[in-house]
Structure 1
Amino acid sequence: MHTVPKRVEPGKLRLVIADDHSLIREGLRRLLAGTQLEIVGEGSTGSQAVGLVTRLDPDIVLLDIRMPDMDGLAALREIKRLKPHTPVIMLTAYDEPAWLVQAIGYGAAGYLLKTMARDDLIAAIQAVAAGDGLLDPSHLSSIVRQLGTETVEPTNPIVGDVNQLTAREREVLALVAEGLTNQQIGEVLGVAPSTIKSHVQNVMLKLGASDRTQAAVMAVKARIVRDEAG
């Protein structure tokens, strides 16, 4: 386990990363060097990741899935239990649908492959930090079908009632479920992104969702889609 002692520059996002391969961690340090993303803690096991997140309270967490001691999915679940509002992105070499479903059920903000381009990775991390989700809309139906099974129990189940939502909030939620960013939703509805951000926050509060990915899953379960939303 490694903690970066130096002070993080103002405006930079603080990251904790966990991967059992030192070459991957070194590669991430090099990829993110000179960006607005600062790695403040590194772990090689899931339990180390949990400890680092608890102690450092980072802005974003990047977790591998296959790690010793405690795997990434177990670490994700524990992190979301202890720090429910800390965004966690799974960064893995395995394009495994079952793991994707489990990760989203446990509260992951995204599921990314290590083969993705540097610029795409940076953009994805920044998107999550800005409150945007990374869930591919094409995966939603599969995820929803499995989240209610015995094998995938959400760490923070969404218990809110969609009937609490205003007409505008339902419109926004429908577009969130399509994978649109706040900027894109604002363009569709003709309002400022800051207004959309406020609507999204209200939606998550009413639904009890810890992030917009969970809210998107709730939208699909409730059959809130753009046509129905108006």
Structure 2
Amino acid sequence: MSTAMIVDDHPLIRLSLRLLLQRERYEVVAECGDGVEAVQLARQHRPNLILLDIGMPRLDGLGVISRVRQLGLPCKILVLTAHTAESYSVRCMTAGANGFFSKTDSLVELQRALRAVMSGFIHFPVLAARPAQGEASNSERALIEKLSNRELSILQHLARGYSNKEIGERLLLSNKTVSTYKMRLIDKLHMKSLITLAEFAKRNDLA
């Protein structure tokens, strides 16, 4: 029987995933809700599969993927997230994930993704151009692609309405460091203020 670990900061989602995995004949050996603990549990249990969310406290999903790969663990990693494939799919693949699945897709699609990844294939959605995308939207996507993983994580938390203190607590950063990142984001994305920066993040489905 294959073993699996679930990493998501929402208990109800972890429960749903556990039930799905058990139906698929996986033994769930560990689950947790933050990235630092995820790395520790992955090292301890060495599961065959890790189902991993991106937006988590202390260490985000991209950081978890990088740490697991640095440890040389042979786990298959399937990212499950509510974030758009346009913003995160390529980043996850580059970090070392084996697949990417949007939580807005069906359970049937998730089962297909699981089977593909565990059979040795990669599973990433095809990034088709949006029919209604205009020049401005394409330009914004290009700006997002130039952000570092940490900058994108800060932008995501800003879109969710977190304060500097809350972002710092979730990502283990000081208020000053968070403020520095925000000013850097305003500069790199050519925004006029934190308000327009937050609007930009929400407009690009980063919340």
TM-score (norm 2): 0.58
Q: Which residue of 1 aligns with 2:56?
A: 67
1:134 partner SS: coil
Q: Which residue of 2 aligns with 1:136?
A: 125
Q: Which residue of 1 aligns with 2:101?
A: 112
Q: Which residue of 1 aligns with 2:88?
A: 99
Percent of pairs identical after alignment?
32
Q: Which residue of 2 aligns with 1:203?
A: none
**How much does 1:150 deviate?**
8.4
Residue 18 (str. 1) matches residue 7 (str. 2)? yes
2:78–2:98 Cα contact (<8 Å) kept: yes
CA 1:117–1:94 in structure 2 vs 1: closer, same or farther (change >3 Å)?
same
Distance in structure 1 (CA, Å) of the matches to 2:76 and 2:23: 22
Q: 1:50 aligns with which of 22, 31, 39?
A: 39
Q: Which residue of 2 aligns with 1:33?
A: 22
1:32–1:122 Cα contact (<8 Å) kept: no
Distance in structure 2 (CA, Å) of the matches to 1:37 and 1:119: 16
**How much does 1:16 deviate?**
0.7
Distance in structure 1 (CA, Å) of the matches to 2:102 and 2:71: 26
CA 1:87–1:34 in structure 2 vs 1: closer, same or farther (change >3 Å)?
closer
Distance in structure 1 (CA, Å) of the matches to 2:127 and 2:59: 30
Query: Residue deviations 1:64-123, cap 9 Å, x none?
Result: 001111111111110111135322111001114232221111011111111222232122
CA 1:100–1:67 in structure 2 vs 1: closer, same or farther (change >3 Å)?
same
Letter in 1 for 2:53: D
Distance in structure 2 (CA, Å) of the matches to 1:81 and 1:57: 14
Structure 1 residue ranges, 4+ long, deviating more than 6 angstroms after superposition: none
Between 16-25 and 35-44, report the one with greater CA deviation: 35-44
Distance in structure 2 (CA, Å) of the matches to 1:72 and 1:138: 20
Q: 2:79 aligns with which of 81, 86, 90?
A: 90
1:33 partner SS: helix
TM-score (norm 1): 0.53
Distance in structure 1 (CA, Å) of the matches to 2:102 and 2:72: 24
Q: Which residue of 2 aligns with 1:183?
A: none
Letter in 2 for 1:26: L
2:7–2:38 Cα contact (<8 Å) kept: yes
Letter in 2 for 1:95: T
RMSD, matched Cα: 2.4
1:90 partner SS: strand
Distance in structure 2 (CA, Å) of the matches to 1:106 and 1:84: 14
CA 1:93–1:138 in structure 2 vs 1: closer, same or farther (change >3 Å)?
closer
Letter in 2 for 1:44: G
1:15–1:39 Cα contact (<8 Å) kept: yes
User: How many residue pairs are counted as aligned between the two chains?
Assistant: 135
CA 1:87–1:32 in structure 2 vs 1: closer, same or farther (change >3 Å)?
closer
Letter in 1 for 2:46: D
